[in-house]
Amino acid sequence: MAGTEPSKDVVIAVDAMGGDHAPQVVVEGCEQALAADSRLTVLLAGPDEVVTPFCERHERARALIAPEVIAMGEHPAEAVRRKRSSSIVLGCKAVKGGEAEGFFSAGSTGACLAAATLYTGRVKGVQRPAIATILPGYQSRTVLTDAGANADCKPEYLLQFAQMGAAYARIALGVEHPRVGLLNIGAEEAKGSEFAVQVHQLLAERLPEFAGNAEGGDLLAGTFDVVVTDGFTGNVALKTAEGTAKAMGKLIKDIFYGSAKGKIAGALVHGQLSGLKSSMGSEAVGGSPLLGVRGAVFIGHGSSNATAIASGIAQTAYAAQMDLAGEVAQAIGS
Amino acid sequence: MAGTEPSKDVVIAVDAMGGDHAPQVVVEGCEQALAADSRLTVLLAGPDEVVTPFCERHERARALIAPEVIAMGEHPAEAVRRKRSSSIVLGCKAVKGGEAEGFFSAGSTGACLAAATLYTGRVKGVQRPAIATILPGYQSRTVLTDAGANADCKPEYLLQFAQMGAAYARIALGVEHPRVGLLNIGAEEAKGSEFAVQVHQLLAERLPEFAGNAEGGDLLAGTFDVVVTDGFTGNVALKTAEGTAKAMGKLIKDIFYGSAKGKIAGALVHGQLSGLKSSMGSEAVGGSPLLGVRGAVFIGHGSSNATAIASGIAQTAYAAQMDLAGEVAQAIGS
């Protein structure tokens, strides 16, 4: 994360049952996160047989018994209303109740969003919480928000997304004055959809950090610290970037497996290629915060491995220690 | 292009002044295209001093004297109304008048769109012409439409984009029954924005080729032959994919220039790395058609080199020979 080192003890609730490889990789991720940060305590939410043995083995781990599990395919809002003793609901409630300062899950994004909104609660004044994702690029990192929480938006939501995104960039990227761009299809202010033109005007009037329109090509180029958009466009952009990186990764792999020469070349740069893979993959991202809810609620990629889980927990802990929700409250009040 | 070889003579108007490196690379591109296809005649549109010497040197080249040039920064609609003897306007008029069966330009996309709509004219029944781009992927190619012509859309526009995109996929990809996906933020039919849900219903009712929702990650994965969306989302997705490929290209370059070992490895796989670059870059794409206008009007990347220009002219010629406009007319009438 960023430069400043917070020096506070922190308790993070973790969804033991979230992700494609839960609970195994989550438990391993918790172990890695605990080993890396002596100020961290994990409140592990999940079925008794998963969480209790883990907590017996680790001094800084506490059990949050949650017998129910929300699966990836379930209807988010229905599931969080019905399954009150699921790991996601109890994790979110722990933040509300103050037993934990943050919650991390690699489970259903929709369920986390619904549970956080319903049970953790919004920061006062926030109209819609938004997902923020850090996109890795060439010598750059950019916060993209909303990355998928709100498919339909009003212009004023995007003003808040921009304010909250800037607050997150100050914490996560350590940038004091983030440059905020509006995702659009041209650089000029009159460009784009009617909605984009309206948002442009609003940001120009109300957001001191506003630095003009961004295009898709700016997302991984470091032109802006924060790029704001509606959750539909943001999710398409995020998944397009991930898909492109994946397709290129396969093409590169073919080069190094396709011939004897390629195999020799691959052996020579093996370390750097692994570095490329982890810097562009979900391991680097770890988790994405839900901006606008209390505490620090982060969602990880369903395909997360133990390293990605550990990284997500560390990000959640850092954001909680740096008082993400307080920064958000201040940003939208300004 | 696709498997079928058309055996017809064809005249393509080419904008000598379009692109960042015009007229030099355009003239070189025309030379390459003429050398590669003995049935092609080029109608080169541009200032006398550029086009006349070229046509004197080439038997299958004719001059279309166009003293005016529309620059990249100009307001498209205004420029095409004012500069009636620009290369873009005269190229589009040549298609309308029958002097050429297609037009290729690497100039201003907006100006080409405006000029084609105003001076070439729409295929009967088409509500809005759309830009279609072929995205290269891992062992796949996918037509994305609309890639930027229409920022604000009605659901019925997207039905036509899908029909026109399918017609183009039949020609350009040689796929008889293209699978058409709707760009959205989840696989389930009720997912996404209100607009996306409406379009989903319309496509499910009216488009036999409809194969469900696509996500950003499908664009380069070959899951669909055609992905349809509004021009705002499509343009963001296209530029995000290009930007991600560019960022990864730089990271890969660093690996092979960053160390002695890297340089040796780079020398071993030099050919394949160049292949990767050209297969993911604009050279491979060449040109993007404006679906829904008469003839075959294609727009190239402003940064096109001579090879990309030649490839764009060849694509335009192929689409004209295969009667793209006729296919579009049939597709939207069905």
Chain A hits for B75, Cβ within 8 Å: none
Which residues, including other chains, have CB under 8 Å from residue B316's CB and lie 6 or more apart? Answer: B12, B102, B103, B104, B287, B289, B296, B297, B298
Chain B hits for A280, Cβ within 8 Å: 248, 251
DSSP collapsed to 3 states, B264-300: HHHHHCHHHHHHHHHHHCHHHHCEEEEECECCEEEEE
User: For residue range B237-250, what is the model confidence (pLDDT) as tens digits?
Assistant: 999 999 999 998 88
Q: Which residue of B has its CA nearest to A237?
A: B237
Residue among B152, B192, B261 whose CB faces A269 most closely: B261
- The DSSP element (H or E) to which A167 belongs, if any, is helix A155-172
Looking at the DSSP bridge assignments, the partners of residue B182 are B213, B228
User: For residue range B149-195, what is the model confidence (pLDDT) as tens digits?
Assistant: 999 999 999 999 999 999 999 999 999 999 999 999 988 877 899 99
Chain A hits for B144, Cβ within 8 Å: none
Q: Is A228 on the interface with B (CB under 8 A)?
A: no
Residue among A192, A229, A280 whose CB faces B151 most closely: A192
Give the burial class of B278: count Cβ atoms within 10 A of its Cβ; 0-12 exposed, 13-18 middle, 19 or more buried: middle
Give the burial class of A180: count Cβ atoms within 10 A of its Cβ; 0-12 exposed, 13-18 middle, 19 or more buried: buried
Q: Which residue of A has its CA nearest to B153?
A: A193
Chain A hits for B237, Cβ within 8 Å: 216, 236-237, 240
CA distance readout (Å), A56 to A18, A34, A105, A258, A270: 21, 14, 22, 49, 39
Q: Is A329 on the interface with B (CB under 8 A)?
A: no
> How many CA atoms within 13 Å lie on the side-chain side of A35?
10
Q: Which residue of A has its CA nearest to B243?
A: A217
Structure-block tokens of residue A241: 């970037």
Do the Cβ atoms of A233 and B233 come within 8 Å? yes
Structure-block tokens of residue A146: 């909303």
Nearest-CA distance B261 → chain A (Å): 6
Chain A hits for B235, Cβ within 8 Å: 185, 216
Task: State the Cα–Cα distance between residues B306 and B173, nearest whole angstrom.
Answer: 23
> pLDDT by residue for chain A (334 residues), tens digit each?
444 566 789 999 999 999 999 999 999 999 999 999 999 999 999 999 999 999 999 999 999 999 999 998 899 999 999 999 999 999 999 999 999 999 999 999 999 999 999 999 999 999 999 999 999 888 889 999 999 999 999 999 999 999 999 999 999 999 999 999 999 998 887 789 999 999 999 999 999 999 999 999 999 999 999 999 999 999 999 999 999 999 988 888 888 888 888 888 888 888 888 777 777 765 556 799 999 999 999 999 998 999 999 999 999 999 999 999 999 999 999 5
Phi, psi of B288 (to 5 degrees): -120, 125
CB B192 within 8 A of CB B186: yes
B interface test, pick of A142, A213, A240 with most B CB neighbours within 10 Å = A240
Residue entry with tokens 């010598």: A139
pLDDT at A267: 84
Give the burial class of B28: count Cβ atoms within 10 A of its Cβ; 0-12 exposed, 13-18 middle, 19 or more buried: middle
Chain A hits for B280, Cβ within 8 Å: 248, 251
Dihedral of the alpha carbons of B97, B103, B109, B112, in degrees to the nearest 10: -10
Task: State the Cα–Cα distance between residues B130 and B292, nearest whole angstrom.
Answer: 7
DSSP calls for B92-153: HHHHHHTS-SEEEE-S-HHHHHHHIIIII-BPTT-SS-EEEEEEE-SS-EEEEE-SSS-SS-
Do the Cβ atoms of A236 and B237 come within 8 Å? yes
The helix/strand/coil state of A224 is coil
| Contact map slice: A 150-209 vs B, CB within 8 A | 151-152, 183, 185, 192-194, 196
User: For residue range A79-94, what is the model confidence (pLDDT) as tens digits?
Assistant: 999 999 999 999 999 9
Nearest-CA distance A272 → chain B (Å): 6
Structure-block tokens of residue A154: 């009003």
Closest to A163 (Cα-Cα) out of A214, A138, A121, A128: A128
Task: State the Cα–Cα distance between residues B217 and B237, nearest whole angstrom.
Answer: 10
Do the Cβ atoms of B152 and A194 come within 8 Å? yes
CB B180 within 8 A of CB B166: yes
| Contact map slice: A 130-149 vs B, CB within 8 A | 137-138, 148
pLDDT-flagged residues of chain B (< 50): 1-3
Task: State the Cα–Cα distance between residues B265 and A279, nearest whole angstrom.
Answer: 21
Q: Is B84 on the interface with A (CB under 8 A)?
A: no
Looking at the DSSP bridge assignments, the partners of residue B12 are B42, B102
**ipTM for the assembly:** 0.92
Which residues, including other chains, have CB under 8 Å from residue B237's CB and lie 6 or more apart? Answer: A216, A236, A237, A240, B144, B183, B216, B219, B229
